[in-house]
Amino acid sequence: MNPSAEAADPLAEGAAGSEPEVSELKLALASAEQAAAAARDQQLRALAELDNVRKRAQRDIDSAQRFALERFAGELLGVRDSLELAAQSAAKAGAGDAAAGSSAAGVQATLQLLVKAFDKFSIVRIDPQGAAFDPAQHEAVLAQESASAPADSVLQVLQSGYQLNGRLLRPARVIVARAPQSGA
């Protein structure tokens, strides 16, 4: 017998005997690759969802920070209105009286501090005098005929409106011009 022939026979037998094992291994490998791909896809989806949750939470935090002052600022609007009226009254009354003049100066100083606080926290006054009427930012209290102003423009501002970071806190209360009626 040829020793190389004997060595070849066991290899041939082993190769022939392992053919079913190879196909089983290939099936197992394909199954494992599918499972790995599914797991990878699931991992990517979970990471994307986690990223979306993180971004949504950050937006909510940013929004809460920007608008946390909304109710408080809304309450301060009446204070500012009152201080402005007091400053106007005190300025008129305090023209000749020293005590009234110092009172007017105190009211004016307090008003300036409130105005600075409004500026610091992005509370912006809406003063639409002469502008076109915008129902999203203005509240029409009265429509008045006017030959000098264009129709649907603001003739007079009765109460200023305010915005906080672009969000309306209070609409401006206005008198709106309307075209004069002919034949009256």
pLDDT per residue rounded down to tens, the chain (184 residues): 455 444 444 444 555 556 779 899 999 999 999 999 999 999 999 999 999 999 999 999 988 877 778 888 888 999 999 999 988 888 777 666 666 677 888 889 999 999 999 999 889 999 899 899 999 999 999 999 988 889 899 999 999 999 998 889 999 999 999 988 875 4
Tokens of 47: 């990471």
DSSP 8-class letter at 174:
E
**Long-range contacts of range 60-66, CB-CB < 8 Å, 24 or more positions apart?**
66/164, 66/165
**Residue 169 host element (H or E):** strand 167-170
SS3 96: coil
d(CA 52, CA 67): 22
d(CA 151, CA 158): 18
pLDDT at 183: 56
DSSP 8-class letter at 156:
E
pTM: 0.62
